[in-house]
Structure 1
Amino acid sequence: MGQRDSKPVQAAATTFEVIEALRELNGAGVSELASYLEMPKSTVHDHLRTLESAEYLVNDGEQYRVGARFLELGGYARRQMRLYRLAQPEIEKLAERTGEHANLMIEEHGRGIFLYKAKGADAVQLDTHAGMRVHLQTTALGKTILAHYPENRVHDILDRHGMPEETDRTVTDREALFEQLETVRERRYATDDEERVEGMRCVAAPIRGSNGTVLGAVSVSGPTSRMDEETFTKSMPKTVLSTANVIEVNMAHS
C-alpha cells in the first residue's frame, strides 16, 4: 500500500503542467499550449475544458488564461499562516519607515516565496508580488533562510533547483555561497547587492522561532542610488533586525 500511495497520479500531474504552462505563456490557445508541452491537442483540450468548468481557467474565445479563483486559494493559504498574520503589520510599518519595499518571505519545497510585500512612499516598481517564487540563493531573504538550515538540507535544495544566474552578480558557485552563509550567521543579516535585479540592493534578517528554527525572513530593498554604503551596511541592517526582533517577540507571546 505504501508503494502504491507514493506513485504520482499522471492526470493530476498533467493538469498542473497545463496550469504552469499557461502562467509561463501568459495565456495560450490549445494548439500553442500543446506544442509548448509536447502533448496531443486532445489531451490538452480535455484538461483545459475540465479546468474551465471548475472555474480555475478563463477562456476569452481565443485563448485560455489562469483565472482569479486561484486568488481565493492563495489568500486562504496565507491567512492560515500565523507568521503572516503577526508579521503583516510590522512589514507595513517597515515600508512606511524606510520609504522602500519591505518584504516577508518563507521557504516551501526549496523555493523562496514572497508571502507579503509593502510599498513605501519612495519605492520603485519591481516585479515581485505575493506568491512569487524565487531561487533562494538569488536574494538576501533566501540566503538568510538558507544560513539557518542544516548543511545537508541546503545541499538538497541546491541539488533540486540549481543555482541559476539572474544577474552577473548572482552567486552561482556552491562553495562561495556557503562562505556567504557563514558570514550571514556571524553578522545576523544577509545582503543582496544587485544579485537578482540590477540596480537594487536588499538587506534581510531571519525570523526565528522560540526553539531557534528559522520561520522566514524580512527585508528592505531599494535602488543603489539610495541604498548607499552607509545605509546598506549600517543603518538598514539595524532597522531590519529590529523589525525581525519585534515579529519574533510577537510570535512568542501572542
Structure 2
Amino acid sequence: MTKQTAKTTERSLVVIDTIQKLGGATLEELTGELEISRSTIHLHLQTLLEKGYLTKEGAVYHIGLRFLNHGEYARSRKNAYTLAKQTVTELSDRIDEEVEFVVKNDNRGILVHESFHPDSHFPSKERHISTAPSSAGIYYYLHSVATGKAILAELPDERVEAVLDDWGLPRQTAQTITDRDNLLQHLF
C-alpha cells in the first residue's frame, strides 16, 4: 500500500536530488532532465533559493549550505551517533583499516561516520587528507556492502523481506549478490 505524500514536497526533493546528481544545474538542464514543467521547476528553485537550500552561481543552481546544518543535527542528535564517531576513529587507528558506522534508514544503509587509517590500502578514499570530501550521508543498498549485510543478518526475516521488496537487489559491482535465495543463504 502506497502512503499518501505531498506532491509539492516530492517535486522539491526531486529538484534537489537532481541538482546534486548533476553537480549543479541550470533551469534549462533541469527542464530537460525532469518531467516537470519549466514554470513549476522555476517556482521550486526560487522557493529553495530564497530559503537558503540552494545557491545560484551565474545561471547554475547548487545545493546550499543550509543542508549542512540539518545534516549535522541529524548526525549528532543521538548520543550514540556521537560516541560512534570516536569509536570509529579509535578502531581505525588500532587496526589500520577502514571503519564505517552505518545506520539503516529508509530500508537502506546511510553512512554516518567513517575513518581511514593514514596507511589505509584504499588510496582513493584517504580521508586523513583534510581537503578530501566526506562520504557521510551516502546511501547504500544493504545487500551490496558488508556493513549492510551485517545489518540485514540481525533483522527478523519479515524485515529483511521488506527491505528486499522495497529496493530489490540491484548490481553495484561484479561481486554483488543479485539472487534473493543466495543472499538469504549468506545472511542466515
The answer to whether the superposition gives a TM-score over 0.5 is yes
Shift of 1:152: 1.2
Hey, what does 1:8 align to over in structure 2?
5
Shift of 1:153: 1.0
How many Å separate the matches in 2 of 1:128 and 1:58?
20
Shift of 1:99: 2.3
CA root-mean-square deviation: 1.4
Shift of 1:158: 0.9
Hey, what does 1:176 align to over in structure 2?
182
Hey, what does 1:195 align to over in structure 2?
none
SS state at 1:115 partner:
strand
**Greater length-normalized contact order (CA 8 Å, ≥ 6 residues apart):** 1
**TM-score calculated relative to the size of structure 1:** 0.67
Unmatched runs of 5 consecutive residues or more in structure 1: 1-5, 183-254
- Give runs of aligned pairs for residues 1-254 of structure 1, distance below 5 A: 7-123=4-120, 124-126=123-125, 129-182=135-188
CA contact (8 A) 1:114 1:129 kept: yes
What is the one-letter code of the residue matched to 1:109? D
Please tell me whether Structure 1 or Structure 2 has the larger radius of gyration of its CA atoms: 1
Shift of 1:111: 0.7
Shift of 1:128: 6.9
Which structure shows the bigger proportion of residues in strand conformation? 1
Shift of 1:120: 0.6
**TM-score calculated relative to the size of structure 2:** 0.90
1:209-242: CA deviation from partner (whole Å, max 9, x where unpaired): xxxxxxxxxxxxxxxxxxxxxxxxxxxxxxxxxx
What is the one-letter code of the residue matched to 1:125? S
SS state at 1:131 partner:
coil
What is the one-letter code of the residue matched to 2:156? P
